[in-house]
Amino acid sequence: MPHISLQISGHPDTELMQKAVAAVGELTQRVLRKEAPVIATTVTFLPREQWFIGGKPLSEHSTGRNAFQLDISVTDETNTKAEKAEYLKQTFATLSEIIGDVNPVSYIYVIDARAAAYGYGGKTQEFRHQHG
């Protein structure tokens, strides 16, 4: 039941977006053990001129002219530190391959959301735990 928000530098590219969403979805299922029917993903593209690293736009970097940021919200205490570390490692490698020429200052944030404050369909994850 995670929500994934993925920002990618550059102009909208449907093929790249579909590959990235599929790859991240597969990793989320395999590494974090989340179920596909409740993985929601949004993708936003930002022009390189509007993405700054070290105060300099990506369009002016000599290497790593692309970047991404992925935020994924999961219910707190449903994944171990080792699972989250592996997810960061594999997701960075996979998105770097798909996007290409990725600046190492591309972030992934696994957000551990409290079950009583997080959910979908108008029900918290705590409610689902208590009544499931």
Percent of the chain scoring above 90 in pLDDT? 85
Per-residue pLDDT of 89-102, as tens digits, reads: 999 999 999 999 99
In this structure, which amino acid lies at residue 46? L
For the entire predicted model, the pTM comes to 0.92
Nearest Cα neighbor of 75 from 29, 121, 17, 129 is 129
Give burial (CB, 10 Å; 0-12/13-18/19+) of 119.
middle
pLDDT for 132 equals: 84
Mean pLDDT, the chain, rounded, equals 95
Please say whether the beta carbons of 59 and 45 come within 8 A: no
Q: Does domain 3-131 have CATH number 3.40.50.2020?
A: no
Per-residue pLDDT of 31-82, as tens digits, reads: 999 999 999 999 999 999 999 999 999 989 888 889 999 999 999 999 999 9
pLDDT for 50 equals: 95
Nearest Cα neighbor of 75 from 34, 122, 130 is 34
pLDDT for 63 equals: 80
Spans of all domains in the chain: 3-131
